[in-house]
Structures are given as structure tokens and as C-alpha cells.
Amino acid sequence: GVEVNTAEDGQVFYDNNCVYCHPSDPAHLDTDVEKIADVLRSGNIRAHRRIDYSDGQIKSLENYLKSLK
């Protein structure tokens, strides 16, 4: 199948993975959307190392966060 990476996919990903440590309303995240991919891929944050992010998941998450602006 073709990955579409929609904002809706990003919202599902956020709700299933991120809300345990981050605000339920991601508009309150401190990190700039443009830096999200680098932060997730860096492995510098221990909790992020547990999740094997695909490029598509990261792209959909970026699209979701940008849609909130």
C-alpha cells in the first residue's frame, strides 16, 4: 500500500504514543514542528528510543502538528 501520511494519521499516532508524556493538546508542545523529526531520530531522549518510528509516521506527525498552527 501507499503511505499517505495524512494529518489524521499523525493525530492517531500522537494519541497512541505521545500523550503519555506530552500534552494531550499538542499545540502546547515546546518543540518546533520543524525539529520534531530530528528530535525523534536522534535517540537523545530515552523514551523515544522505545519506538521504532517509520519515515511515514514522522511525516504524518509533522503534518498533524502543522495543521494545528
Whether pLDDT at 60 is above 90? yes
Q: Within 13 Å, how many C-alpha atoms sit on residue 4's CB side? A: 6
Instruction: Give the model confidence (pLDDT) of 22-53 as tens digits.
Output: 999 999 999 999 999 999 999 899 989 888 88
Residue 26 near residue 14, CB atoms below 8 Å: yes
User: What pLDDT score does 4 carry?
Assistant: 77
Q: Within 13 Å, how many C-alpha atoms sit on residue 21's CB side? A: 7
User: What pLDDT score does 51 carry?
Assistant: 85
User: What pLDDT score does 24 carry?
Assistant: 94
Instruction: Give the model confidence (pLDDT) of 4-16 as tens digits.
Output: 799 999 999 999 9
